[in-house]
Amino acid sequence: MKLQKNNGDVAILSIKKESLLKRILKCWQLYVFLIPAVVGMLIFHYYPIYGITLAFKRFMPGRPISQAPWIGFEHFRRFFASPNSMRIIWNTIKISMVSQVLLFPLPLIFALSLNQVQHIRRKKFIQNVTYIPYLFSVVIVMTMAVVLLAPNSGIINILVEKFTGEKILFFGEDKYVLPIYVITGIWAGLGYSAVMYLSALSSVDQEQLEAAKIDGATRLRIIWSIELPALRDTIVILLILQCGHLLSVGVDKMLLIQTDLNRGASDVIGTYAYELGLIKGDFAFSTAISLFNNLANISLLLIVNGIANKLSDNSIF
Amino acid sequence: MFKTKKLDSDKVFGFFNSIFLIIITALIVYPIYFILIASISDPNAVAAGQTMLLPKGVTFLGYAKILEDARLVTGFKNSIILTVWGTSIAMAICLITAFALSRKELPGRRFINGFFVFTMYFGGGLIPTYLLHQSLGTMNTYWALILPGLSVYNMIICRSFFQSNVSEELFESIKVDGGSYFTFFFKIVLPLSKAIIAVIVLYTALGFWNNYMTSLYYIQDSKKWPLQLVLKSITDQIKANSSEVGASSLMAMETQKAEQLTRYSVVIISSIPVFLLYPFIQKYFVKGVMVGSVKG
């Protein structure tokens, strides 16, 4: 009996083996389709992963990474020993925390508010207009900010001068870095983030809404008891995704905010790694800092994903 | 009695809700509007705060000056070349890859899929990639920006679209007629997927047009700078000028004046392509976000 069963298994296995080769041959055209992307990924994404070993080596200019001598955790020790690094890590955490805490509820409130508009064309108009800034590049957004905040002719400084009699150097002081980063972020992302919630809101059960209205529920009551719960899954997933960026401040944007005068607040891990690596040429040290940043972000993402999985059955993996 | 009370509270809510929405919309639109009218106004009137709502002393000098600025003109040209080439190549690779991975009979499909998804979460980072481009000789060429450009995210969106919108019967009928995957892809899949292709083309083109970080890393020759990098150097200049209150020398004042004339028009000019694409984006954008969120 047992033997027979085993024989059967072997037979099935051999049939499968034969057909696997056949199946592969049948699909040869599909493999041809995959060649460019696979080769591209191997060269530009997988090969550089080997280069991370540089974080544990001493870089020798003109010599390949494989020949560089190992020095263990020397770069990491150097990074964590310097008081400068603590300031940079703190800046990064502060800026990303504040901007995410503020950036998270606003699109939600905006979407719920916009969803109350009964007039379809008005609603569409506001939705279409408010995501325009999302289409602009960071450079354009920051150029706008620089131009509007300029001390000599920027409209905001003109208003400030009218009320206080003095001009503000917005790009010349540490205390303005965080507000500029956060406000431009809200301006550029509010409408776009709201689209996600609005599309989730459009799937709210209409019958339930009607029933609530007939029962005499106020609009606020409907928002609180029907619409907000309907957004729960979207909210959790967006929260998890955000946590993966807890230790990353947009380098692209920060480089545009940074001036020599506000470096006390605008030096973040990303800009520091860029500057050390590509401007000062300290390749190995820069790689170590980037690696630390990446690992910190991935661990945060996994931790939060795990917690969310336990609490609400929602997770991205 | 009960009903009127409820109606009243809803009315009050509706009123404040409308005011809230109007304020938000105004805050988002006004900066763009202000820059638009400031770009065609007399710079002195702008500096005096006289162009809050309407332009004053209408002039197109700012735009004329930009057209004379060789840096900006080449930047514009470079960006167009980069966007057209980049989008074409990225789209071609994205579509064929998505098609291959959408076929369930492909052996090793899950493994290959994981191979792509992994790169979304982990990569070599700045320096190893920089060193790679140095050794490949792609530094200072657009290849450094175009070749690594396959967006796995977009590829997954296309793949899901193919899977749910192209029926198996169509493939069977192609097979019966003796057609191959090639004919199936070009004759059936592509024509059926125009909507999703439009969305992804828009996203990809916008990405190439707006990208400045990778060009900052890999394009050091300022003649090859795309528009965004030129714009960044202009912004750096304005920031430097405005760090020192009151220009010290006459020279500095002169350059500041010229710069003030163009600072608004430069923003408008650089966003023209975005405005040109806006009607299409509007048509497909929300759909695109929804496809993305369905994928989750």
pLDDT at A40: 94
Distance between A69 CA and the closest CA of chain B, angstroms:
16
Q: Are residues B123 and B141 in the same domain?
A: yes
The CATH superfamily assigned to A84-312 is MetI-like (1.10.3720.10)
- Among B37, B59, B81, give the residue marking a domain's end: B59
Q: What does the H/E/C string look like for chain A?
A: CHHHHHHHHHHHHHHHHHHHHHHHHHCHHHHHHHHHHHHHHHHHHHHHHHHHHHHHECCCCCCCHHHCCECCCHHHHHHHHCHHHHHHHHHHHHHHHHHHHHHCHHHHHHHHHHHCCCCHHHHHHHHHHHCHHHHCCHHHHHHHHHHHHCCCCCHHHHHHHHHHCCCCCCCCCHHHHHHHHHHHHHHHHHHHHHHHHHHHHCCCCHHHHHHHHHCCCCHHHHHHHHHHHHCHHHHHHHHHHHHCCCCCCCHHHHHHHCCHHHHHHHCCHHHHHHHHHHHCCCHHHHHHHHHHHHHHHHHHHHHHHHHHHHHHCCCCC
Which member of B116, B123, B270 has the closest CB to residue A49? B123
pLDDT at A314: 66
Average pLDDT over residues A3-18: 49
Highest mean pLDDT among A135-139, B123-127, B242-246, B255-259: A135-139
Q: Are residues B235 and B115 in the same domain?
A: yes
Q: Cβ–Cβ of B228/A139 closer than 8 Å?
A: yes
A·B CB contacts under 8 A: 280
Which member of B24, B96, B256 has the closest CB to residue A110? B24
For residue A204, pLDDT beyond 50: yes
Percent over 90 (pLDDT), chain B: 42
pLDDT at B295: 43
For residue A191, pLDDT beyond 80: yes
Q: Per residue in B248-291, pLDDT tens?
A: 555 566 666 667 778 899 899 989 888 888 888 777 766 666 55
For residue A5, pLDDT beyond 50: no
Which residues, 6+ apart, have CB-to-CB distance to B77 below 8 Å? none
pLDDT at B290: 59
Greater confidence, B51 or A256?
Answer: A256
| Contact assessment for residue B262 and residue B66, using Cβ atoms and an 8 Å cutoff | yes
Percent over 90 (pLDDT), chain A: 41
For residue A313, pLDDT beyond 90: no
Which residues, 6+ apart, have CB-to-CB distance to B255 below 8 Å? B241
Q: Which residues of B touch A216 (CB under 8 A)?
A: 2-3, 6
pLDDT at A239: 79
pLDDT at B247: 46
pLDDT at A216: 80
Q: Strand runs (DSSP E) across chain B, as ranges?
A: none
Q: Are residues B12 and B147 in the same domain?
A: no
Average pLDDT over residues B91-97: 96
Q: Per residue in A21-50, pLDDT tens?
A: 888 888 899 999 999 999 999 999 999 999
Which residues, 6+ apart, have CB-to-CB distance to B239 below 8 Å? A146, A171, A259
Which residues, 6+ apart, have CB-to-CB distance to A219 below 8 Å? A116, B9, B10, B13, B14
C-alpha distances in angstroms, B102 versus A25, B35, B61, B90, B114?
A: 17, 46, 54, 18, 14
Where exactly are the structural domains of chain A? 2-56, 84-312
Q: Are residues B113 and B231 in the same domain?
A: yes
Q: Cβ–Cβ of A50/B289 closer than 8 Å?
A: no
Average pLDDT over residues A66-75: 90
Q: Are residues B75 and B18 in the same domain?
A: no
pLDDT at A18: 57
Q: Cβ–Cβ of A287/B125 closer than 8 Å?
A: yes
Which member of B14, B126, B242 has the closest CB to residue A286? B126
Q: Per residue in A105-156, pLDDT tens?
A: 999 999 999 998 888 899 989 988 998 999 999 999 999 999 899 887 788 8
Q: Are residues B49 and B66 in the same domain?
A: no
CATH number for the domain harbouring residue B285: 1.10.3720.10
pLDDT at A234: 82
Q: Are residues B20 and B143 in the same domain?
A: no
Which member of B13, B239, B263 has the closest CB to residue A171? B239
Average pLDDT over residues B234-238: 83
Average pLDDT over residues B225-253: 74
Q: Are residues B64 and B37 in the same domain?
A: no
State which residues form the domain around B48.
1-59
Q: Cβ–Cβ of A316/B296 closer than 8 Å?
A: yes
pLDDT at B277: 84
Q: How far apart are CA B6 and CA B31, in angstroms?
A: 39
Q: Are residues B39 and B137 in the same domain?
A: no
Distance between A87 CA and the closest CA of chain B, angstroms:
22
In chain B, whose CA is at the least distance from the CA of A27? B106
Q: Are residues B195 and B273 in the same domain?
A: yes
Q: Which residues of A touch B6 (CB under 8 A)?
A: 216, 218
Total domains in the fold of chain B? 2
For residue A85, pLDDT beyond 50: yes
For residue A6, pLDDT beyond 60: no
pLDDT at B243: 59
Q: Cβ–Cβ of A128/B10 closer than 8 Å?
A: no
